[in-house]
Structure 1
Amino acid sequence: MESNFGEGESNHHVIDMWKVDPDRLASMQLKISENPKLLSKAAGRRSCCIFRVPQGLIEANGKAYQPRIVSIGPYHRGQPRLNMIEEHKWRYLGSLLSRTQTKGLTLEKLLEAIAPLENEARECYSETIQLDSHEFIEMMVLDGCFIIELFRKVGKLVPFEHGDPLITMAWILPFFYRDFLKLENQIPLFILQRLFEISQLPGETTALTTPTLSFLAMEFFNYSLQRPDEVINTTSSSLCTANHLLDLVRSSFVVVEETEKNRITTPTHVIHCVSKLRRAGIKLIPGKLNESFLHVTFRHGVIEMPMITMDDFMTSFLLNCVAFEQCYSGCFTKQFTTYVTLLDCLINTYRDVEYLCDRNIIENHFGTEGEVASFINNAGKDVAVDLDLCYLSRLFNEVHEYYRNSWHVQWASFKYTYFDTPWSFISALAALVLLILTIGQTYFAAYDYFDGSNS
Structure 2
Amino acid sequence: MRENEWVMNVNQELKNMGDSSSEMEQWKKRSIYRVPSCVTDLNKKAYKPQSVSFGPYHYGESNLESMEENKHRALLHFLKRYKKPFECYVDAVMEIVEDLKHAYTSLEQKWHLDTIGFTKMMILDGCFMLEILRVATSQDGDIDNPDDEVIDDYAPNDPVFSKHGKLYIMPYVKRDMLMLENQLPMLLLNTLVVDSKDGDPNQHDEELVNRMMQRFFFPYTRITKMGRCLHPLDVYRRGLLWENPHHKKKIVAKSYHRLVIEEGDEIVRSATELYEAGIRFKKSKTRSLKGIGFESGVLKLPPILVDDATESLYLNLIAFERLHVGAGNEVTSYIFFMDNIIDNAKDVSLLHSQGIIQNAIGSDKAVAKLFNSLSKDITLDPDSALDVVHKQVHNYCSKPWNEWRANLIHTYFRSPWAILSVLAAVLLFALTIVQTIYTVFPK
Q: What TM-score comes out, normalization by structure 2 length?
A: 0.81
Deviation at 1:434, TM superposition (A): 2.3
- Asked which structure has the greater CA Rg, the reply is 1
Give the match for residue 372 of structure 1. 367
Q: In 2, distance between residues paired with 1:201 and 1:267?
A: 62
- Is contact 1:72–1:143 with CA below 8 Å preserved after alignment? yes
RMSD: 3.2
The structure-2 alpha-carbon separation of the partners of 1:338 and 1:148, relative to structure 1 and needing over 3 Å to count, comes to same
> Which runs of no fewer than 5 residues in structure 1 stay unpaired?
1-21, 36-40, 203-208
Deviation at 1:54, TM superposition (A): 2.7
Q: In 2, distance between residues paired with 1:431 and 1:30?
A: 88
The equivalences for 1:28-427 within 5 A come to 45-101=27-83, 105-130=84-109, 131=111, 132-156=114-138, 157=142, 158-159=151-152, 160-166=154-160, 167=162, 168-169=164-165, 170-200=167-197, 212-222=208-218, 227-228=220-221, 230=222, 233-234=223-224, 238=225, 240-255=227-242, 266=263, 269-288=266-285, 290-331=286-327, 333-386=328-381, 388-415=382-409
Query: Percent identical across equivalent pairs?
Result: 30
- Is contact 2:103–2:185 with CA below 8 Å preserved after alignment? yes
- Is contact 1:44–1:328 with CA below 8 Å preserved after alignment? no
Deviation at 1:201, TM superposition (A): 6.6
Deviation at 1:431, TM superposition (A): 3.1
Work out which of the residue numbers 433, 436, 439 in structure 2 matches 1:439: 433
Code of the residue aligned with 1:323 in structure 2: it is: A
- Is contact 1:100–1:201 with CA below 8 Å preserved after alignment? no
Deviation at 1:178, TM superposition (A): 0.6
| 1:115-170 residue CA offsets vs partner (Å, 9 max, x unmatched) | 11111111211213431211111111111111111211222252132211113243
With a CA cutoff of 8 Å and minimum separation of 6, indicate the structure with the bigger relative contact order.
Answer: 1
Code of the residue aligned with 2:368 in structure 1: it is: A
Deviation at 1:269, TM superposition (A): 2.9
| 1:51-70 residue CA offsets vs partner (Å, 9 max, x unmatched) | 11132321223311111100
Code of the residue aligned with 1:182 in structure 2: it is: M
Q: Give secondary structure in 1 for the equivalent of 2:384.
A: coil
- Is contact 1:279–1:409 with CA below 8 Å preserved after alignment? no
- Is contact 1:151–1:216 with CA below 8 Å preserved after alignment? yes
Deviation at 1:78, TM superposition (A): 0.7
- Is contact 1:291–1:306 with CA below 8 Å preserved after alignment? yes
The structure-2 alpha-carbon separation of the partners of 1:314 and 1:31, relative to structure 1 and needing over 3 Å to count, comes to farther
Q: In 1, distance between residues paired with 2:262 and 2:418?
A: 43
Deviation at 1:351, TM superposition (A): 2.4
The structure-2 alpha-carbon separation of the partners of 1:198 and 1:44, relative to structure 1 and needing over 3 Å to count, comes to closer
Count of aligned residue pairs for this structure pair: 401
Q: In 2, distance between residues paired with 1:33 and 1:163?
A: 63
The structure-2 alpha-carbon separation of the partners of 1:31 and 1:211, relative to structure 1 and needing over 3 Å to count, comes to closer
Give the match for residue 20 of structure 2. none
Question: Which range moves more in the overlay, 298-307 or 265-274?
Answer: 265-274
Question: Which range moves more in the overlay, 162-171 or 438-447?
Answer: 438-447
Q: Give secondary structure in 2 for the equivalent of 1:96.
A: helix
Q: What TM-score comes out, normalization by structure 1 length?
A: 0.79
- Is contact 2:226–2:238 with CA below 8 Å preserved after alignment? no
